C-alpha cells in the first residue's frame, strides 16, 4: 500500500471530529436537523483549519444513504465516494488552478440536471476568490435562481475578495485559527495512533511551529517522523524544524536589555558553534521582537500574538522592560540584518553587528532621555540664578533646537565619537547641573572673564607641553587672543582674522593634542573649546547675529558640553 500523508489520513469524517470550529459545525448540524440548509455557503479562514474538510462532511451529511443526517455513516457508496473525491454529485472545483472558467461553464450546465443518484448536487469551490469575473457572473446567475437540490460551498482564504453580490447571497462562516492547546491535543492523538513516541517538548515545538493550522502541524509531524523515525525528542525536532527555543530568544533580549554586548556576542558564537543556521535565527529573533512589540503596544492578551498562553506572561514581562521606540528600532535593525544575511558570505558578522547595534540603541535611549532633561536644567538654571551679562540685549530663545534631535539623528554621531569622548566627566563642580553660558562665556564678573592669553601661567605651561610635541600646533596657539581655564575646560579664543589657526586647532588631531597637553598640565580631564572672537567688520550682518545667538543659547551650550563639541557653523534656518 502506498504511503498516505498524515494530514490526509487523519482528515475528520464527522462534524464532531473537526477540532476548534464548533460554532460552524453546530450551526450546520442545526441547519441539517431543521431542514434549513442554504443554497450557498462561504467558508473563509486560513489554510489548513478545516474548510474543505467541513465542506465534505456537509456533503456527506446531505447525501449519505442514511441521510440527511448530522452523523453520516461513512460506509455507504455516497460517503465513500465523497471521501475519496470521486462522487458524481459532489464536484470539487479548484479555482486557483485555471481560474475556473470552464468549470463554471460546465457547472452551469450540470446544475440544470437533477442529481444523478443522490439527494443534492453539491459544488465545492476551493480558493473561490481566484475565480474570474466571468466565472463569478456565471455563478451569480445560478445563485440568484438556485436550482432545487443544489448547493454551493465556496472555500477561500480571502473572503473580502469575493464580490459583494456573491457574498450577499451566501451564508458566511469564518473558520478560526486554532489555539496552541487545540493543536497540541490533536497532535498528541495522531502521534498515539501512529504509534510514535514523542516527549512533551517535541509535541509542543510542533504545535508552536504550526501557527494555528492543523494541516501545517500534521505536515510538520510527517517531516520529523521522516527525519527521526519513531522517537521524537524536543532537541531533534527543533533541529529538524530549525526552531529556536523561545528561552534562547528571551535570553538574548535580556542581554540586550542589560546592554551586555559581551553576552550577546558570546551567545551568537554559541549558536554558530551548535550549528544553528544564523539567518534563520535572526528571523526567529525578528519574530520574537515583533511579539514583544505587540505585547508592548496591544497587551500580551492580544489576538495578534500567536503564542501559547503560558508564553504570554513571559512576553508581557519582557516587553515591559523596553520602550516602544526601543522595540521598533530593534525590529528595524533585525529586519535589515535578516535581509542582508541571506546573501552574505559571512552571515555571522551581520548578526553580530545587528546585536551590537541593538545593545547600543539601548544605551542610546537612556542618553536621549538624559539629554532632554539636560536642556531643561540649563534653562531653569539661567532663568533663576544667573542674571544676564548684558541686560540691554536680551538673548532670544533658541527656536526649538533640542526638539529637532531625535534618537535616529543621535545614532550616528554617538557611534562615531572618539573613545576619549566617553571618558567620565568629573563629578564635583558639575553636580549642580550645567552652568549657564551667560556666566561662563560673556563675562558676568571680571574674575570669570577670559584673560589675555599671555597672562595665565597655566596657558604658558600648556603651550610649552604642546611645543614639545608639535611645533606646528604650538605656533598656531601663538595666535590665541584670549583664553580661559576653569573647571576642566580650556576655552581659547582667536580673533576673526586668525580664523585659519582656529580651524587648525579645531581639527581632530590638533584638538586631541591640545587636550592631552592641557590634561597633563592641569592634572584632570579637560575639554577644549575653540571659538572666534567678535567680528570687527560689519560685513554680513545676519551671520554674526545668528552665531552670537547660538553661542549664547543655553541648550546649544549644554550640548556642546555634553558632547565636548565645538561650534563650527551656525545656520539661521529662519532666513533660508
Dihedral in degrees, nearest 10, Cα atoms 534, 538, 540, 542: 70
Tell me how far apart the alpha carbons of residues 304 and 8 are, in angstroms, rounded to a whole number.
29
**Smallest separation (angstroms) from ligand ADP to the CB of 218:** 5
> Which residues, listed in sequence order, are joined to residue 480 by a DSSP beta bridge?
494
> Which residues, listed in sequence order, are joined to residue 41 by a DSSP beta bridge?
153, 171
76 binds, among Mg ion, ligand ADP, Zn ion, none (CB under 5 to 8 A by kind): Zn ion
Q: Which residues have CB under 8 Å from 171's CB, separation 6+?
A: 38, 40, 41, 42
Tell me how far apart the alpha carbons of residues 149 and 437 are, in angstroms, rounded to a whole number.
90
> Which residues, listed in sequence order, are joined to residue 489 by a DSSP beta bridge?
486, 527
282 binds, among Mg ion, Zn ion, ligand ADP, none (CB under 5 to 8 A by kind): none
Dihedral in degrees, nearest 10, Cα atoms 59, 65, 71, 73: -110
* Binding pattern for the stretch 514-553 against Zn ion, x by CB under 5 A and - elsewhere: ----------------------------------------
- Phi, psi of 49, deg, nearest 5: -115, 5
218 binds, among Mg ion, ligand ADP, Zn ion, none (CB under 5 to 8 A by kind): ligand ADP
Phi/psi region, residue 245 (left: phi>0; alpha: psi -120 to 50; beta: rest), is beta
Q: Which residues have CB under 8 Å from 59's CB, separation 6+?
A: 82, 87, 90, 120, 122, 124, 151, 153
Nearer of residues 126 and 519 to Mg ion, judged by Cβ: 126
| DSSP code per residue over 388-400 | -S-TTSPPPPP-S
Tell me how far apart the alpha carbons of residues 317 and 303 are, in angstroms, rounded to a whole number.
17
Tell me how far apart the alpha carbons of residues 154 and 161 are, in angstroms, rounded to a whole number.
12
**Smallest separation (angstroms) from Zn ion to the CB of 122:** 14
**Smallest separation (angstroms) from Mg ion to the CB of 51:** 5
* Binding pattern for the stretch 37-76 against Mg ion, x by CB under 5 A and - elsewhere: ---------------x------------------------
436 binds, among ligand ADP, Mg ion, Zn ion, none (CB under 5 to 8 A by kind): none
Are 160 and 127 within 8 A, CB to CB?
no
Nearer of residues 58 and 473 to ligand ADP, judged by Cβ: 58
Nearer of residues 73 and 411 to Zn ion, judged by Cβ: 73
**Smallest separation (angstroms) from Zn ion to the CB of 53:** 16
**Smallest separation (angstroms) from ligand ADP to the CB of 357:** 40
Nearer of residues 183 and 292 to Mg ion, judged by Cβ: 183
**Smallest separation (angstroms) from ligand ADP to the CB of 110:** 23
Binding site for ligand ADP (CB under 6 A): 7-8, 10-12, 18-21, 47-53, 155, 186, 214-215, 218
Nearer of residues 213 and 555 to ligand ADP, judged by Cβ: 213
Residues numbered 47-76 forming contacts with Zn ion, rule: CB under 5 A: 64, 72-73, 76
Q: Which residues have CB under 8 Å from 230's CB, separation 6+?
A: 195, 196, 197
Are 465 and 514 within 8 A, CB to CB?
no
**Smallest separation (angstroms) from ligand ADP to the CB of 194:** 13
**Smallest separation (angstroms) from Zn ion to the CB of 73:** 4
Nearer of residues 59 and 513 to ligand ADP, judged by Cβ: 59
Q: Which stretch binds Zn ion (CB under 5 A): 78-86, 297-305, 515-523, 561-569?
A: 78-86
**Smallest separation (angstroms) from Mg ion to the CB of 10:** 15
By CB under 5 A, name the binding residues for Zn ion: 64, 72-73, 76, 79
By CB under 5 A, name the binding residues for Mg ion: 52
Amino acid at each position: 500500500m502506498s504511503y498516505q500523508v498524515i494530514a490526509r489520513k487523519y482528515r475528520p469524517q464527522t462534524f464532531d471530529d473537526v477540532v476548534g470550529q464548533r460554532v460552524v459545525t453546530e450551526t450546520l448540524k442545526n441547519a441539517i436537523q431543521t431542514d434549513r440548509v442554504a443554497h450557498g455557503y462561504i467558508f473563509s479562514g486560513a489554510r489548513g483549519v478545516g474548510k474543505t474538510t467541513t465542506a465534505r462532511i456537509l456533503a456527506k451529511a446531505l447525501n449519505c444513504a442514511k441521510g440527511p443526517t448530522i452523523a453520516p455513516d461513512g460506509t455507504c457508496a455516497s460517503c465513500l465516494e465523497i471521501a475519496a473525491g470521486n462522487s458524481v454529485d459532489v464536484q470539487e472545483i479548484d479555482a486557483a488552478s485555471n481560474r475556473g472558467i470552464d468549470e463554471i461553464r460546465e457547472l452551469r450546465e450540470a446544475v440544470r440536471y437533477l442529481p444523478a443518484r443522490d439527494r443534492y448536487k453539491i459544488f465545492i469551490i476551493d480558493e473561490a476568490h481566484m475565480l474570474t469575473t466571468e466565472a463569478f457572473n456565471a455563478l451569480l446567475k445560478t445563485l440568484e435562481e438556485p436550482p432545487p437540490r443544489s448547493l454551493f460551498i465556496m472555500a477561500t482564504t480571502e473572503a473580502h475578495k469575493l464580490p459583494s453580490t456573491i457574498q450577499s447571497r451566501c451564508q458566511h462562516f469564518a473558520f478560526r485559527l486554532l489555539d496552541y492547546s487545540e493543536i497540541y491535543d490533536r497532535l498528541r492523538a495522531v502521534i498515539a495512533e501512529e504509534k510514535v513516541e514523542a516527549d512533551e517538548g517535541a509535541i509542543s515545538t510542533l504545535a508552536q511551529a504550526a501557527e494555528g493550522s492543523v494541516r501545517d502541524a500534521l505536515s510538520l509531524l510527517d517531516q520529523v517522523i521522516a527525519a527521526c523515525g519513531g522517537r521524537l525528542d524536543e532537541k531533534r525536532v527543533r533541529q529538524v524544524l530549525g526552531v529556536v527555543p523561545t528561552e534562547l530568544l528571551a535570553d538574548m533580549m535580556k542581554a540586550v536589555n542589560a546592554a551586555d554586548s559581551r553576552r550577546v556576542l558570546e551567545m551568537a558564537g554559541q549558536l554558530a558553534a551548535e550549528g544553528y543556521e544564523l539567518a534563520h535565527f535572526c528571523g526567529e529573533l525578528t519574530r520574537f521582537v515583533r511579539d514583544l512589540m505587540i505585547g508592548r503596544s496591544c497587551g500580551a492578551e492580544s489576538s495578534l500574538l500567536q503564542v501559547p498562553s503560558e508564553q504570554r506572561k513571559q512576553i508581557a514581562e519582557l516587553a515591559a522592560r523596553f520602550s516602544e521606540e526601543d522595540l521598533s528600532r530593534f525590529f528595524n535593525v533585525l529586519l535589515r540584518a535578516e535581509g542582508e544575511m541571506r546573501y552574505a558570505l559571512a552571515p555571522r558578522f551581520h548578526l553580530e553587528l545587528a546585536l551590537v547595534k541593538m545593545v547600543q540603541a539601548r544605551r542610546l535611549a537612556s542618553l536621549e532621555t538624559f539629554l532632554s532633561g539636560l536642556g531643561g536644567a540649563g534653562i531653569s538654571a539661567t532663568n533663576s540664578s544667573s542674571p544676564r551679562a548684558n541686560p540691554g540685549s536680551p538673548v532670544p530663545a533658541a527656536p526649538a533646537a533640542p526638539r529637532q534631535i531625535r534618537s535616529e539623528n543621535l545614532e550616528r554621531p554617538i557611534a562615531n565619537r572618539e573613545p576619549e569622548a566617553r571618558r567620565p566627566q568629573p563629578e564635583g563642580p558639575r553636580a549642580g547641573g550645567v552652568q549657564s553660558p551667560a556666566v561662563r562665556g560673556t563675562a558676568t564678573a571680571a574674575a570669570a572673564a577670559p584673560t589675555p592669553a599671555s597672562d595665565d601661567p597655566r596657558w604658558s605651561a600648556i603651550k610649552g607641553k604642546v611645543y614639545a610635541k608639535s611645533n606646528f600646533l604650538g605656533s598656531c596657539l601663538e595666535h590665541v587672543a584670549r583664553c580661559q581655564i576653569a573647571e576642566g575646560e580650556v576655552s581659547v579664543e582667536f580673533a576673526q582674522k586668525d580664523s585659519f589657526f582656529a580651524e587648525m586647532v579645531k581639527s581632530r588631531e590638533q584638538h586631541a593634542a591640545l587636550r592631552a597637553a592641557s590634561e597633563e598640565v592641569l592634572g584632570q580631564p579637560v575639554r577644549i573649546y575653540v571659538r572666534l572672537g567678535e567680528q570687527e567688520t560689519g560685513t554680513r550682518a545676519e551671520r554674526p547675529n545668528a552665531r552670537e545667538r547660538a553661542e549664547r543659547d543655553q541648550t546649544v551650550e549644554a550640548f556642546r558640553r555634553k558632547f565636548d563639541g565645538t561650534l563650527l557653523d551656525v545656520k539661521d534656518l529662519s532666513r533660508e
